Amino acid sequence: MDADEFLLKHSQEWSQKYPGRYVAVVGDKLVSVNNSAVNAFKEAKEKFPDKEVCIDYIPTEEETVTLL
């Protein structure tokens, strides 16, 4: 499973746990949750320096409604 599939699989769960935050995923692992995309990326790279890091923003419920 790649990072995109992993994000999609867990998007509903994470929308309740981490609204308004950035998540960093490496492969099929959530490795960082942060208020800053840069900090989430840095934390992930510290743990997995040789791996590709995928960053995604988890919108709040209000932001999701606005997008619809």
What is the model's pTM?
A: 0.87
Note the pLDDT of residue 34. Answer: 98
Per-residue pLDDT of the chain (68 residues; tens, 9 = 90+): 778 888 889 988 999 999 999 999 999 999 999 999 999 999 999 999 999 999 999 999 888 876 55
Note the pLDDT of residue 16. Answer: 93
Note the pLDDT of residue 63. Answer: 86
Is 44 within 8 Å of 53 (Cβ atoms)? Answer: yes
For residues 22-33, b (16+ Cβ closer than 10 Å) or e, as one string? bbbbbeeebbbe
